[in-house]
Amino acid sequence: MARDTVFYVVRHGQTLFNVLQKVQGWCDSPLTEQGVAVARKLGAGLAATPFSAAYSSDSGRAVATLAEVLEPNASEVQPRSDWRLREWCYGDLEGEPGSKLHDVLAQGFGADLPMTELNGRLPEIADVLADRDGSGRSERFDAIEDRVTSFFAEAGARACASGGGNVLVVTHAFTIKTLLYLYARDRVNERPKIENASVTKLRFDGISFEVGTIGDTAYAR
């Protein structure tokens, strides 16, 4: 009998740009020693969890996190990367101080809005950033939604066809916030910030998605 598929959606470990408070997006920076350590703790916390598949974005920080998490796991699944799991692309803000991103959003919205309000206005955030991006690379929300939902629909269908079970996914903070906005909008502020190495569960029954726990850091303790 086929079982539901449960995605364990993980934010990558801490990176150099996280420490420096710089915008990453599609650009990359390596995991810090702390980032590697917490990824290993997460791996230990998930060591007894059987996974039928494991994916990450193709960003180095996500690939490295997935490798550390899988190291102690007995599932012996082969890690795969998929560009659709990337963070939002922030265009010419990438590599810049996070304060510059903050200022662009404040200017675009005409006010310095708290994170709790911004979490419920993700499509508007994407539009503000795209409108002010001189490089033309910043993504609008429909493009982000299309790539993220297409990945989970395909991965979910593949897992269900093989009998369901658990699927490990390593991705990024705003990609996870996108999932929450799409599938549990009333819960977007349950965890206003998605922490490094936290686990958000997304259940797929072959037809629809349901969000379970959000931003759980207990596995990495």
Q: Is the pLDDT of residue 1 over 50?
A: no
pLDDT in tens, 5-55: 999 999 999 999 999 999 999 999 999 999 999 999 999 999 999 999 999
Sheet holding 209-211, edge to edge: 79-81, 51-56, 165-171, 5-11, 199-204, 209-211
Is the pLDDT assigned to residue 174 strictly greater than 70? yes
Residue pair 109/124 in contact by the 8 Å Cβ criterion: yes
Phi, psi of 182 (to 5 degrees): -80, -35
Q: How many residues does the chain have?
A: 221
As beta bridge partners, residue 216 has 199
| E-only strand ranges, the chain | 5-11, 51-56, 79-81, 165-171, 199-204, 209-211
Q: Tell me the average pLDDT across 63-74.
A: 97
What are the structure tokens assigned to 64, written together?
A: 């490295």
* Residue 182 pLDDT greater than 60, yes or no: yes
Query: Mean pLDDT across the chain, nearest whole number?
Result: 97
Pairing mode, strands 209-211 and 199-204: antiparallel
Sign of the dihedral through C-alpha 69, 83, 58, 192: negative
* 3-state secondary structure (DSSP) of residue 30: coil
Q: What is the pLDDT of residue 3?
A: 83
pLDDT of amino acid 217: 98
pLDDT grade for 72, boundaries at 50, 70 and 90: very high
Query: Other C-beta atoms within 10 Å of 121: how many?
Result: 16
Kindly state the percentage of the chain with pLDDT values over 90: 97
Confidence check: pLDDT of 146 > 70:
yes
Residue 2 has pLDDT above 60, yes or no: no
Once rounded to an integer, what is the mean pLDDT over residues 106-134? 97
Confidence of residue 124 (pLDDT cuts 50, 70, 90): very high
